[in-house]
Amino acid sequence: AGLRLILAMISFPLFLIKAQIAKKICAGRAVRSRLTQIKLHSLKLLASGLSREAVANFLEISNAHLELVLSKDDK
C-alpha cells in the first residue's frame, strides 16, 4: 500500500508535466521545436531520478528515439 501511494505521488506531477507539454505544442506557443521540448523535459525527468526507460515510456517514445533526441546538439 505504501509503494502504491509513493507511485501515485510521483505519477501525478508527471501527468501534469506531460499535459503541459501537450498544451504548449497543441497551442503553438512553444518557441522550441518538439524535439527540443522532448529533450528539455527528458533531461528534467532524468535529473529527478527516473531511468531512461521510464522517461521514454512516460513520453510515449521508444528508447532509441529518446537516445537520438538526447544525442542531438541544439542549433
- Based on the structure, what is the number of domains in the chain? 1
Residue 66: domain span: 2-71
**Contact predicate 42/70, CB 8 Å:** yes
pLDDT of residue 36: 81
Q: State CA 16 to chain mean position distance.
A: 11
Q: State CA 25 to chain mean position distance.
A: 13
pLDDT of residue 11: 64
**Contact predicate 39/72, CB 8 Å:** yes
Query: Average model confidence (pLDDT) for the chain?
Result: 76
The model carries a pTM of 0.53
Higher pLDDT pick, 73 / 62 = 62
Over residues 21-53, the pLDDT tens digits come to: 777 666 555 545 777 888 888 998 899 998 999
